[in-house]
Structure 1
Amino acid sequence: MGTWGSGNFESDTAADHLSIVTARLVTEVAQAMAGDPVELEADEYWGVAVPCNLELLYLIAAQGHAGAELPQPQVVEAWKQAFMAVWERSVDGLDPAPGFKEERRARLLETFDRVAAAARSRAGRPGAAPAW
């Protein structure tokens, strides 16, 4: 295996490991999005964990390390549409504090948009955007 620097992510083994970590995050999101929409409601586990996974993917990808894999941008856009539809239907039932709904909506949209933009910027790089 090759090593090209002294950093923690500057070897083929590290890139392989990062690929495994990011693939797990993407797979979890893909499975949640393909599952029961009730599980994506604002107060359900995947309603919270999906944006967390996406944020982690974005933060990892932003470092530019080899092995950080993202889904195709159109996949992220489809996830955004589906997730936000469930979120919009469920959030009012939680009686959110004034201003929370608007702030949270903006943050969720920003999260999906940042991951999609990162995926677009990585498109064309070998192995950077598998068709999840």
Structure 2
Amino acid sequence: MGTWGSGNFDSDTAADHLSSLTARLVREIEDAMSGDPVELEADEYWGVAVPCNLEILNVLATQHWVGVTLPEAATVESWKATYLAAWDASIDDLEPSPEFKTQRRATLVSTFDQLTEAIRAK
């Protein structure tokens, strides 16, 4: 295995680890997107975990480490449409304040958009 620097992510082994980690995060999102849309509702596990996974992927993408494997930008855009449809259909049932609803949706949109931009910048 090769090593090209003294950093924690400067070796083939670290790249393999990052590849496995990012693949798992992507696979979880893919599974959630292809499953029952109810699982993506605002108060469901994947309704919360999907944006978390996206944020983690974005953080990893911005590091430019070898081994970070990301989906295509078009895939993330498709996920965004699917996710937001489920979120929009479910959020009012939770009776959020208008301010929270507006701010949270903006955060969700930004989360998807930032990852799309990071992928396009690679």
TM-score band, normalised by the shorter chain?
Answer: over 0.9
Unaligned runs of 5+ in 1: 123-132
Partner of 1:97: 97
- What residue identity is the alignment partner of 1:116? T
Unaligned runs of 5+ in 2: none
Residues of 1 paired with 2:46 and 2:66: CA distance? 28
- What residue identity is the alignment partner of 1:96? P
How does the TM-score come out when normalised to structure 2?
Answer: 0.98
Partner of 1:107: 107
Q: 1:51-81 CA distances to partner (integer Å, 9 max, x unpaired)? A: 0000000001111100011100000000000
Partner of 2:118: 118
**Cα RMSD (Å) of the superposition?**
0.6
How does the TM-score come out when normalised to structure 1?
Answer: 0.91
**Higher helix proportion:** 2
Partner of 1:79: 79
Runs of 4+ deviating beyond 4 Å:
none
Partner of 2:25: 25
Give the drift of 1:120: 1.1
- What residue identity is the alignment partner of 1:3? T
Q: 1:92-130 CA distances to partner (integer Å, 9 max, x unpaired)? A: 0000023000000000000000111111112xxxxxxxx
Residues of 1 paired with 2:10 and 2:82: CA distance? 37
Identity value in percent: 61
